[in-house]
Amino acid sequence: MTYAIDVRGLTKKFGNQVVLDRLDVTVPTGSIHAVLGPNGAGKTTFINVLTTLVRPDSGTAAVGGSDVVARAAEVRRRISVTGQNAAVDDVLTARENLTMMARLLGLTRAESRVRTDELLERFALDEAAKKRVSTFSGGMRRRLDLAISLICRPQIVFLDEPTTGLDTRSRRTLWDEVQRLRTEGVTILLTTQYLDEADALADEISVLDRGRVVARGTPAQLKAQVGSDIVEVRNERGVLVHELHTDGTPRDVIDVLSASGVQDAGIVTIRRPTLDDVFLAVTSETGSRHDGARATREVAS
C-alpha cells in the first residue's frame, strides 16, 4: 500500500506546551482521512506541519513521498490547502479571483481562461462569475475557495474545517465535491468539528486528544468500540436522563437497566452508536464517565 501521508513519531511544542505528542498517522493514496478532536487537540497544528507552515521538533512526516522539512518545496508543489476562512478577494469577481490565482501559479493567459471556465462550471459558479465576491453567500465563497485550491490539480488536498458556518445545503454541496475529488484519485485530509461530516466522508478517522491519537479506524470500527447498541432512557416529559451501553438483546437491556439503578425508566429506546458516542468515550473531556460495555452517561437530572 502506498501512503500519500506518512507520519511517524511527530512531535511539536510551543514553549513548554506539547501540542503534538509522537503522532503516527498514515493516509493511503486516494482516500479521505478525517481528523477529529476537541478544541486545542492539535488539529490545526497538525495541518500546518504537513503543509510546511510549521516545523516539527521531532519525528518525520512525508507528504506525497517528500519529507516536509528536507523537501518542503516539493511538498508544496503537490498539495493545496483550504483553511477555516475563505481566502478570496471580496473586491474581485469570481472569474477575476480564479484568473488572478491561475496566472500567479504560472498558467498562461489562455490556460488560465480555460481552467477558470472549467472550475466555474464545476462548482456551479458560472452564472455568478461576473459578480463581486462581496455579494456571495458563505456557501458560494467556500465553493470558490475550494475551486481556487484546485487550479493546479493537486495530488493531496488539506481541508481545515471546510464547512464551518455553512447551512445544510451548502455543506452537502461541499461534501459532493470532496467525494468527487476522491473518485479522481485525489487524497484528502480534513479536520472537522462535525461528526456527521466525518461519518459521511471519511474512509478512516483519527481522533486527537491533547496532541495524541486516542482512537483510529473506519467509522464503523470506531462505533463498534463503544458497544453494539445504546439504550436511551427518558422521563415522563421526554427529557433524556440516561444513556446505557448494551448488546441490544431484551435480557441485556433489562440487566443493564437493573444494574444501573435506573428506576421508573419511563420511555426506553434503543439506537446504534454514533461518532458522538465515540468522541465522548475516547476524549479526555468526558472519557472518565465511560467504563467499557456497561458504561452509563448521565444526561440530565
Summarised one tens digit per residue, pLDDT across range 81-119 is: 987 666 788 999 999 999 999 999 899 999 999 999 999
pLDDT value at position 247?
A: 59
- Separation between Cα atoms, residue 254 and residue 248, nearest integer Å: 10
In which band, very low, low, confident or very high, does the pLDDT at 280 lie, cut at 50, 70 and 90?
Answer: confident
Using one digit for the tens of pLDDT, what is the confidence trace for 192-209? Answer: 878 888 989 999 999 999
Report the alpha-carbon distance of residue 48 to residue 56 in Å, rounded: 10
Q: Helix and strand tally (H, E) in the chain? A: 10, 14
pLDDT score of 223: 76
The residue count of the chain comes to 301
Q: Mean per-residue pLDDT for 149-172?
A: 87
Please tell me the distance from the alpha carbon of residue 265 to that of residue 244, in angstroms, as a whole number: 12
**For residues 138 and 144, what is the distance between their CA atoms, to the nearest angstrom?**
10
Residue 245's pLDDT band (boundaries 50, 70, 90)?
low
Write out the DSSP string of 140-164: HHHHHHHHHHTTT--SEEEEESTTT
Q: How far apart are CA 251 and CA 56, in angstroms?
A: 52
In the block, cell 490547502 appears at: 81
- Crossing angle of helices 94-104 and 109-122, rounded to 10°: 130
The larger pLDDT score, comparing residue 31 to residue 149, is at 31
Beta strands in 145-298, from DSSP E residues, in sequence order: 156-160, 187-191, 204-209, 212-217, 229-234, 240-246, 267-271, 296-298
Grid coordinates representing 259? 444494574
The pTM score is 0.77
Q: What does the pLDDT read at residue 47? A: 94
